[in-house]
Amino acid sequence: MNIGTIQFDKYPVFLAPMEDVTDISFRLLCKKFGADMVYTEFISSDALIRHISKTKTKLEIKDEERPVAMQIYGREVEPMVEAARICEEARPDILDINFGCPVKKVAGKGAGSGMLRTPEKMLEITRAVVRAVNIPVTVKTRLGWDHDSKIIVELAERLQDCGIAGLTIHGRTRSQMYTGEADWTLIGEVKNNPRMHIPITGNGDITSPEACKQAFDRYGVDAVMIGRASIGAPWIFREIKQYLKTGEKAPKEPFEYYLSVLKRQILQSVNRLDERRGILHSRRHIAVSPLFKGIPDFKPTRIAMLKANTVKELFDIMDNISSNFVTF
């Protein structure tokens, strides 16, 4: 499977773009565990062209994480074009347009999945961005705005006509947010449309190696994207890649091994930012990590981890967690 000139092996698995999650530290970690491609946090075109410093830090990429896609969002053509050109100067392998984010502060202003209510504007932006840069442009979107407007099958063809090099579809509408189950049937319908010739990546509810393999086998997608299931568990990529390659599940490592991965992630964030901000950034991963699932009466320990203010304090709490529980 190719996106532009970038070639992937069979069964490619990507790390989804997630705000406040897929910073460079987490991307590098997921890459080491086998993610075939990683995506940056999404970048506001309006903030980027105004040179907001926090937004500009999202342009940082490293060669070790390639291939890497940089994702932008916005609701107007000119800012999106200008932002696309700025992003291209940062040398990502792919530029991705976010037409899928459902959160109110994005979609409610007409950007992200809000574009599903104005498909003509979505197409206008896509055509303009494709023309503006010399790297492959892809799109990530959803099935439609709500249950009564699932327009993805027709929309996919029209996006393809704009010149995009690939399309990722999250199997929910904007109205669903992240509730309910992802509907992969329409993703499969897009993939199996004989008029589609660009790669189709499926996204939504892939939380295990078996679910990933089923997505490839049942719906025929060219790639699968992993989002929330990777938070606090970057090792999911190794588990999935092992299963896709051999049909066998990877043996579980000792509890301490997974704990050391989370510690490494925390230290990487601290080294990149500073102790206070690095710990704050890592809390989301710690809070939802499946590593601690099933440990009886764990709530006070979880709260203590989330309140820790120093690396030593946080690591002392983590080291005191009993390793006698099977947590997976």
**Taking the alpha carbons of 122, 124, 127, 133 in that order, is the dihedral positive or negative?**
negative
From the number of C-beta atoms within 10 Å of its C-beta (0-12, 13-18, 19+), residue 10 rates as: exposed
Give the DSSP H or E segment for 162: none
Q: Which two tokens stand for residue 297?
A: 């009466």
SS3 of residue 225 by DSSP = strand
Look up residue 36 and give its DSSP letter.
S
SS3 of residue 138 by DSSP = strand
For residue 305, the one-letter residue type is M
State yes or no: is 212 an active-site residue.
no
> Active-site residue among 30, 87, 101, 212?
101
Q: Which two tokens stand for residue 264?
A: 């490494």
> Rounded to whole angstroms, what are the CA distances from 114 to 12, 73, 124?
29, 11, 15
CB 4 within 8 A of CB 198: no
SS3 of residue 13 by DSSP = strand
Separation CA 87–CA 94 (nearest Å): 10
Task: Choose among 204, 8, 169, 173: nearest CA to 214.
Answer: 204
Task: Choose among 320, 271, 279, 265: nearest CA to 298.
Answer: 320
Q: Which two tokens stand for residue 143?
A: 């099935």
Residues tagged active-site: 101
